[in-house]
């Protein structure tokens, strides 16, 4: 048990460090949260986490390592992700001008926003998200093998400044459990924080939806340009 707790804690920190930084997935979660309520934001987070679980299974089977050998396939996936982000950015702009509903009031069918929309949107987008693909091609595969990993050093954007502060052993089931637990903590707390802020600031919801559209559009253009450079 004493050896499991540090690995579990390290996994939680690792999951939070990778899930929390701003990016396309958090833009989708934020948009769903402020437009359709906490449950919609949480479902969107579950969609992104389900994609990570899918990549995890593929890594176990060796498929992720196989895809790494074909840059053209990776570029096509990135390109599809870019188009999807631009499409979802357009949807976020439309929603920023629309009405915002409280938790529990989402229609299940025939209404404006089906309950599973956020989950499907985040899941499909995450499957073509280059950051998640790159993670499971490199660090994610490494988590499955005995060794050492610099947890905070892998944090997007600020990893270099945090390198060496939290280095742990990999290959432990407890660390993998903690990793997904950390993601779960984030996708539950992030929408809750947004909804709490929305109750205090009347213009918060449309502002978040608009910001989400900008983030998705920016990453969409970036991913399309990266795919074009690889393919051309």
Q: What is the pLDDT of residue 113?
A: 52
**43 against 74, higher pLDDT:** 43
Secondary structure class of 176 (helix, strand, coil): helix
The structural domain count of the chain equals 1
**105 against 20, higher pLDDT:** 20
Backbone φ and ψ for 168, nearest 5 degrees, come out as: -135, 170
Q: What is the pLDDT of residue 115?
A: 63
- Which of 106-110, 159-163, 223-227 has the lowest average pLDDT? 106-110
Instruction: Label residue 66 exposed, middle or buried (CB < 10 Å: 0-12, 13-18, 19+).
Output: exposed
pLDDT band of 105, cuts 50, 70, 90? very low
Check residue 17 and give left, alpha or beta (phi > 0: left; psi -120 to 50: alpha): alpha
Residue whose tokens read 């309950």: 115
pLDDT at 1 over 70: no
CB-based contacts of 176: which residues, under 8 Å, 6+ apart?
11, 56, 143, 144
- Identify the CA nearest to 113 among candidates 30, 35, 217: 35
The string of pLDDT tens digits covering residues 157-190 is: 566 676 766 666 677 788 888 889 999 999 999 9
Q: What is the pLDDT of residue 155?
A: 62
**Tokens representing 86?**
């631009």
Domain that holds residue 142: 4-231
As a whole number of angstroms, the longest Cα–Cα distance in the chain is: 53
């Amino acid at each position: 048990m004493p050896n499991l707790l540090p690995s579990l804690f390290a996994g939680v920190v690792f999951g939070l460090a990778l899930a929390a930084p701003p990016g396309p997935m958090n833009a989708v979660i934020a948009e769903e949260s402020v437009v359709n309520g906490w449950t919609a934001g949480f479902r969107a987070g579950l969609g992104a986490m389900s994609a990570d679980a899918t990549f995890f299974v593929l890594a176990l089977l060796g498929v992720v390592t196989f895809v790494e050998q074909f840059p053209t396939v990776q570029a096509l996936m990135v390109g599809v992700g870019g188009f999807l982000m631009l499409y979802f950015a357009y949807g976020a702009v439309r929603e920023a001008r629309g009405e915002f509903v409280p938790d529990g009031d989402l229609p299940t069918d025939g209404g404006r926003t089906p309950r599973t929309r956020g989950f499907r949107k985040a899941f499909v987008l995450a499957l073509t998200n280059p950051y998640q693909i790159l993670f499971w091609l490199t660090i994610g595969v490494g988590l499955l093998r005995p060794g050492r990993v610099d947890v905070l050093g892998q944090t997007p954007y600020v990893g270099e400044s945090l390198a060496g502060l939290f280095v742990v052993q990999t290959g432990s089931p407890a660390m993998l459990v903690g990793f997904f637990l950390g993601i779960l903590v984030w996708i539950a707390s992030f929408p809750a924080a947004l909804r709490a802020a929305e109750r205090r600031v009347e213009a918060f919801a449309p502002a978040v939806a608009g910001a989400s559209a900008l983030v998705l559009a920016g990453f969409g253009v970036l991913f399309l340009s990266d795919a074009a450079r690889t393919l051309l």
